[in-house]
């Protein structure tokens, strides 16, 4: 039996959301200054990029155009 569009959406939404949440938790591990060196500007840029992507995803659900970009920090 073929799954409905709703069933496929729920399955993928749960899986993808949990993956994002796991990755955010891993990102939080980078805040350990005993293991990593970062600036406040680095942190601001990281969260700015995340917030921008969340806005983009939210726009996609609202039916507006999506523009994907990759994140990069400089050494």
Listed in sequence order, the residues at least 6 apart from 68 whose beta carbon sits closer than 8 Å to its beta carbon are: 56
Cα(31)–Cα(9) distance, rounded to whole angstroms? 34
Residue 20 banded pLDDT, cuts 50, 70, 90: very high
Residue 66 banded pLDDT, cuts 50, 70, 90: low
Can you say whether residue 32 is alpha, beta or left, with left for phi > 0 and alpha for psi between -120 and 50 degrees? Answer: beta
Whole-model pTM: value is: 0.79
Does the pLDDT value for residue 5 go beyond 90? yes
Q: Which two tokens stand for residue 69?
A: 């970009």
The per-residue pLDDT for 69 is: 74
To the nearest whole percent, how much of the chain has pLDDT over 90? Answer: 76
Contact (CB, 8 A) for 38 and 26: no
Q: Which residue has the tokens 């992507």?
A: 53
The per-residue pLDDT for 73 is: 86
């Amino acid at each position: 039996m073929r799954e409905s569009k709703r069933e496929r959406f729920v399955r993928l939404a749960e899986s993808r959301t949990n993956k994002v949440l796991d990755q955010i938790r891993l990102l939080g591990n980078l805040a350990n200054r005993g293991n990593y060196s970062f600036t406040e500007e680095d942190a601001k840029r990281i969260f700015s990029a995340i917030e921008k992507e969340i806005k983009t995803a939210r726009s996609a659900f609202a039916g507006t155009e999506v523009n994907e970009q990759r994140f990069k920090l400089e050494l």
